[in-house]
């Protein structure tokens, strides 16, 4: 069920700009990926030479408990957009979305989450905590560090969950929300509820990571593990080795395994969170409504666990629309259908 969504006139202008930006992007991407391009670097897992990374250069800034690695595109004076990746992906989820939005006039921020890429903890003693509230607080701290009072927040997978949490708990900081697979706010209590066998099967990795064998296996086989998730979550996405290896390199972060394992164990109530996030988690456990303008997206070939749109439509109390993106689009929707994702961002940003 979708509520009618009224776009301001500027949103229509921004959406039109996406078509122009997307056509420009096609030629830019072709050059960046050309084997004859100057400037190459070695792939993390294969040692092959890869073309110059289109998400370079990276910036970094101290924010909360982290030094956050991030990419920034567009004008410093443009309306801010924060794009959040998930697991086992990275900032390259937005490799085609970011330039489209930058060309349409936005200031685009794409950070590595804790445990990914160049993001590092500032102190050795800080718990390597992957609970959802902690990741959301990281993004609020990043916005503060960048002097961004209010932004459009958009995400996929862990990034969508984080975006939903921010929109629910800090609505004054959010212009609009784009969330792949809808309302993803959960709790440890909800995680205790058993699912039908077919649904449980799709969460196999969560149970695997709940064991020490699983932790060791993931640490030993990060790249193969991630590629398997990519293939099962997006069964019709014909990504090539170079595309995977760019993102796979981000999983070599020294805190990555600890963050991922804690995240999934926390969801099942098998790991404790930090006391300082307890009040936030209590609020999230109530399933708060999201009142900011929202568009939820779903690919027609999403092989990852995800709720039906009818199950979460009532969780959005403001202007709301759901869009089904067709064409064999899987779980990593922003990278598989960048123009559709960028158009949703423009619509909720109210330009």
- How far is the CA of 166 from the CAs of 138, 314, 350, in angstroms? 10, 18, 18
How would residue 96 be classed by pLDDT, with cut points 50, 70 and 90?
very high
What is the C-alpha separation between 254 and 257, in angstroms, rounded? 8
- Within 8 A by CB and 6+ apart from 168, the residues are 185, 283, 284, 288, 289, 290
Q: Which two tokens stand for residue 129?
A: 């905590």
Cα separation, 47 vs 286, in Å, equals 48
Are the C-beta atoms of 242 and 88 separated by less than 8 Å? no
What confidence score (pLDDT) does residue 193 get?
87
* Burial track 222-255 (b if 16+ CB lie within 10 A, e otherwise): bbebbbebbeebbeebebeeebbbbbbbbbebeb
Spatial separation of the C-alpha atoms in residues 243 and 33, rounded to whole Å = 10
Number of Cβ within 10 Å of residue 160's Cβ equals: 28
Region 67-86: mean pLDDT is 98
For the chain, the helix, strand and coil percentages under 3-state DSSP, each to the nearest 5: 45, 15, 40
pLDDT confidence tier of residue 189, bands split at 50, 70 and 90: confident
Q: What is the pLDDT of residues 114-133, one digit of tens each?
A: 999 999 999 999 999 999 99
Query: What is the model's pTM?
Result: 0.87
Local structure of 252: helix, strand or coil: helix
Q: How confident is the model at residue 192 (pLDDT cuts 50, 70, 90)?
A: confident
| Distance (Å, whole) CA 224 – CA 279 | 37
Q: How far is CA 256 from the centre of its chain?
A: 16
**Residue 326 to residue 333: CA distance in whole angstroms:** 10
User: What pLDDT is stored for residue 276 in this prediction?
Assistant: 97
pLDDT of residue 71: 97
Cβ 221 vs Cβ 229: under 8 Å: no
Closest residue by Cα to residue 139 from 125, 123, 119, 122: 119
Task: Classify strands 66-73 and 120-121 as parallel, antiparallel or unpaired.
Answer: antiparallel
Tokens 């004859």 — which residue?
36
pLDDT in tens, 39-55: 333 334 444 434 568 89
pLDDT at 10: 40
Return the percentage of the chain with pLDDT > 70, whole number. 85
């Amino acid at each position: 069920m979708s509520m009618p969504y009224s776009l301001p006139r500027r949103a229509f202008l921004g959406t039109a700009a996406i078509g122009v930006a997307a056509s420009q992007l096609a030629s830019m991407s072709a050059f960046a990926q050309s084997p004859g391009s100057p400037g190459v670097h070695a792939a993390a897992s294969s040692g092959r030479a890869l073309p110059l990374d289109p998400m370079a250069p990276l910036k970094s800034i101290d924010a909360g408990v982290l030094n956050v690695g991030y990419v920034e595109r567009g004008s410093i004076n443009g309306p801010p957009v924060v794009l959040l990746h998930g697991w086992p992906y990275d900032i390259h989820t937005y490799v085609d979305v970011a330039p489209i939005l930058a060309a349409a006039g936005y200031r685009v921020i794409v950070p590595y989450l804790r445990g990914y890429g160049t993001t590092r903890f500032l102190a050795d003693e800080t718990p390597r905590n992957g609970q959802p509230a902690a990741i959301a607080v990281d993004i609020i701290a990043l916005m503060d560090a960048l002097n961004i009072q209010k932004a459009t927040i958009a995400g996929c997978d862990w990034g969508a969950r984080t975006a939903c949490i921010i929109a629910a708990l800090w609505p004054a900081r959010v212009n609009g929300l784009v969330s792949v697979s809808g309302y993803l706010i959960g709790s440890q209590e909800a995680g205790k509820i058993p699912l039908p066998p077919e649904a449980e099967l799709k969460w196999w990795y969560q149970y695997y990571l709940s064991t020490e064998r699983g932790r060791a296996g993931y640490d030993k086989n990060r790249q193969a593990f991630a590629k398997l998730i990519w293939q099962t979550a997006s069964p019709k996405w014909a990504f090539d080795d170079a595309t995977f290896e760019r993102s796979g390199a981000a999983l070599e972060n020294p805190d990555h395994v600890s963050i991922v394992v804690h995240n999934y164990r926390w969801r099942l109530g098998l790991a404790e969170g930090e006391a300082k996030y307890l009040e936030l988690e209590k609020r999230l456990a109530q399933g708060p409504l999201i009142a900011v303008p929202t568009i939820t997206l779903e690919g027609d070939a999403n092989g990852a666990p995800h709720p039906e749109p009818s199950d979460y439509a009532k969780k959005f109390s403001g202007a709301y629309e759901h869009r089904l993106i067709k064409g064999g689009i899987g779980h990593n929707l922003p990278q598989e259908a960048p123009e559709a994702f960028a158009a949703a961002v423009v619509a909720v940003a109210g330009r």
